[in-house]
Amino acid sequence: VAQSSDTRDIMLKQYIEQIYTDLHVRIRNNHHQQQQEEQEEECSTNTTVVVCD
């Protein structure tokens, strides 16, 4: 798929890469959020995604 020049294969490859990147960012942010909660109970604003319960 990576070497293919077919339009559908290229779109599929970009779609998969987007999902992989998004998932990686979510996991990293979630891990960072858990570390923040251990240090302080208030919501942190220095992360890209701020989750407040």
Per-residue model confidence as pLDDT tens digits over 13-49: 999 999 999 999 999 988 877 776 665 555 555 555 5
Asked if residues 24 and 47 have their Cβ atoms less than 8 Å apart, the reply is no
pLDDT confidence of residue 33: 77
Indicate the pTM of the whole model: 0.47
Question: 51, 48, 53, 52: which is closest to 22 by C-alpha?
Answer: 48
Each domain of the chain, given as residue ranges in start order, spans: 1-53
Helix then strand then coil, in percent of the chain rounded to 5, is: 60, 0, 40
- Contacts of residue 52, Cβ cutoff 8 Å, sequence gap at least 6: 43
Which tokens in the block code for residue 35? 């570390």
